[in-house]
Amino acid sequence: MTATTRTAERTPAVLVLEDGRTFRGQAYGARGETVGEAVFSTGMTGYQETLTDPSYHRQLVVMTAPHIGNTGVNDEDPESRRIWVAGYVVRDPARRHSNWRARRSLEDELTAQGVVGISGVDTRALTRHLRERGAMRAGIFSGAEAAADEAALLARVRSAPQMAGADLAPEVATTEPYVVPAIGEKRFTVAAVDLGIKGMTPHRMAQRGIEVHVLPATATLEDVYAVAPDGVFFSNGPGDPATADHAVALMRGVLERSTPLFGICFGNQILGRALGFGTFKLKYGHRGINQPVKDLTTGKVEVTAHNHGFAVDAPLDRVSDTPYGRVEVSHVCLNDDVVEGLRLLDRPAFSVQYHPEAAAGPHDAAYLFDRFTSLMNTVLMEGQRA
């Protein structure tokens, strides 16, 4: 990515999709060029959490909500150390922000972090195009780059790597372990494998008396058990789960020891692979904070926060036998019947495809952290009785 400081006047920009369709608008954020996979997010709020979600690494995010930036940027809501989106596409950016927590404008933040964006785009037409044709590579070009020959710009887009086959978790994960202490009395210790973890996730566990040891994506089984965990957590993250052989092997080691295990998003896909299921790329994925999911164990429907372009290929209509015992699909998306959760029946392990930390998003899925806590407590009590 290359970028220059934005100027006072609005400069032209163009979005070029790999199938040749283009959208012209105005530069928003840093000037220059950027390429990545174009995807859309249906959240009406929470743009700051979206921008700083590591799962969006190497993606150009199209916001379907038309008005973006009205609450500015604060220093409390980032979900990681930086903005991870490769580019940002909006229709009507706010002319000025207005919120008591705001410290600066969204455009100033995008510029400061070198994020190339485009505004004035018909995001409804763009979203319909991506729904019909599927997520695809794209590029944003602004300033002098926007005036280049469209055939040359298209060639740059088509030369960019695809998301299928991309091993991205090690690029966004922490390089050094760190600890998030329990809030109040410590009840449990959890080893959290960082595949692109959001800051609110260990905080939600800490609120339940869990001391969370966040480990790099490259952590070994010895690293995990060096913290004497009562449970192991596998986080969300970017990229193609078919490339995550190390994480799959690590999870199998945890399953073999029957340690309570909880995975979300990328962690759900890793559990699927560890159990022997395949994964596949969705046409345009689930991204936003308004995705309806049914918990098949309770029959309840919850509105959930999502950010994934891949899914687990597991049967919805039956219990499956795996090397680690029986497993069933525990949650399903009501929009398209995509697997949204797995539950082992013979070992203490489960996962969901979405983001129960709700940053941003509804709190319907907060019970999953309580379910993890209960699972650890049950295993602990059984061990004491034994």
322-376 tens-digit pLDDT: 999 999 999 999 999 999 999 999 999 999 999 999 898 899 999 999 999 999 9
Q: Does the annotation count 333 as an active-site position?
A: no
A 10 A CB-CB count for 19 gives 14
Average pLDDT, the chain: 95
* Long-range contact pairs involving 296-300 (C-beta distance under 8 Å, separation at least 24): 296/328, 296/329, 296/330, 296/331, 296/332, 297/330, 297/343
d(CA 55, CA 238): 4
Residue 310 annotated in ligand binding? yes
Same domain membership, residue 206 and residue 175:
yes
Same domain membership, residue 190 and residue 74:
no
Q: Which amino acid is at 164?
A: A
Q: Which tens digits make up the pLDDT trace of 10-20? A: 799 999 999 99
Residue 262 annotated in ligand binding? no
Same domain membership, residue 356 and residue 273:
yes
Q: What is the residue whose two structure tokens read 């032209």? A: 12
Same domain membership, residue 293 and residue 200:
yes
With CA atoms as reference, report the closest residue to 88 among 124, 57, 51: 51
Residue finishing a domain among 123, 158, 193: 158
From residue 282, how far is each of 54, 61, 135, 250 by CA, in Å? 19, 16, 9, 25
Same domain membership, residue 261 and residue 133:
no
> What's the rounded mean pLDDT across residues 69-74?
96
Same domain membership, residue 102 and residue 46:
yes
Range of the domain at 129: 2-158
Same domain membership, residue 175 and residue 154:
no
Do the beta carbons of residue 251 and residue 271 sit within 8 Å? yes
Q: Which tens digits make up the pLDDT trace of 239-289? A: 999 999 999 999 999 999 999 999 999 999 999 999 999 999 999 999 999
Is 91 domain-assigned? yes
Is 163 domain-assigned? no
Residue finishing a domain among 114, 133, 158: 158
CATH number for the domain including 98? 3.50.30.20
Same domain membership, residue 251 and residue 105:
no
Q: What pLDDT, on the 0 to 100 scale, is given for residue 386?
A: 63
Q: What pLDDT, on the 0 to 100 scale, is given for residue 8?
A: 40
Residue 237 annotated in ligand binding? yes
pLDDT-derived band at 4 (thresholds 50, 70, 90) equals very low
Same domain membership, residue 264 and residue 318:
yes
Q: What pLDDT, on the 0 to 100 scale, is given for residue 9?
A: 62
SS (H, E, C) the chain: CEEECCCCCCCEEEEEECCCCEEEEEEEEEEEEEEEEEEEECCCCCHHHHHCCHHHECEEEEECCCEECCCCECCCCCCCCCCCECEEECCEECCCCCCCCCCECHHHHHHHCCCEEEECCCHHHHHHHHHHHCCEEEEEEEHHHHHCCHHHHHHHHHCCCCCCCCCCHHHHCCCCCEEECCCCCCCEEEEEECCCCCCHHHHHHHCCCEEEEEECCCCCHHHHHHCCCCEEEECCCCCCHHHCHHHHHHHHHHHHHCCCEEEECHHHHHHHHHCCCEEEEEEEEEEEEEEEEEECCCCCEEEEEEEEEEEEECCCCCCEEECCEEEEEEEEECCCCCEEEEEECCCCEEEECCCCCCCCCCCCCCHHHHHHHHHHHHHHHHHHHC
Active-site position among 145, 211, 328, 357: 357
> What's the rounded mean pLDDT across residues 131-157?
95
Omega into 360 within 30° of 0, i.e. cis? yes
Residue 381 has pLDDT above 90, yes or no: no
> What's the rounded mean pLDDT across residues 14-27?
97
pLDDT-derived band at 380 (thresholds 50, 70, 90) equals confident
Active-site position among 265, 328, 333, 340: 265
Same domain membership, residue 189 and residue 149:
no
Q: Does the annotation count 306 as an active-site position?
A: no
Residue 278 annotated in ligand binding? no
With CA atoms as reference, report the closest residue to 173 among 228, 235, 97, 128: 235
Residue 236 annotated in ligand binding? no
d(CA 9, CA 258): 60
Same domain membership, residue 268 and residue 133:
no
Is 164 domain-assigned? no
Q: What pLDDT, on the 0 to 100 scale, is given for residue 384?
A: 75
Q: Does the annotation count 246 as an active-site position?
A: no
Do the beta carbons of residue 319 and residue 345 sit within 8 Å? yes
The set of residues, in sequence order, having a beta carbon less than 8 Å from that of 29 and lying 6+ positions away, is 6, 88, 107, 110, 111, 115, 116, 117
Residue finishing a domain among 128, 158, 188: 158
Q: What pLDDT, on the 0 to 100 scale, is given for residue 383?
A: 77
Same domain membership, residue 173 and residue 154:
no
pTM listed for this prediction = 0.95
Q: What pLDDT, on the 0 to 100 scale, is given for residue 184?
A: 97
Q: Which tens digits make up the pLDDT trace of 170-221? A: 999 999 999 999 999 999 999 999 999 999 999 999 999 999 999 999 999 9
* Phi, psi values for residue 81, rounded to 5°: -75, -10
Residue 309 annotated in ligand binding? yes
Residue 5 has pLDDT above 70, yes or no: no
Is 266 domain-assigned? yes
Number of structural domains, the chain? 2
* Phi, psi values for residue 382, rounded to 5°: -65, -40
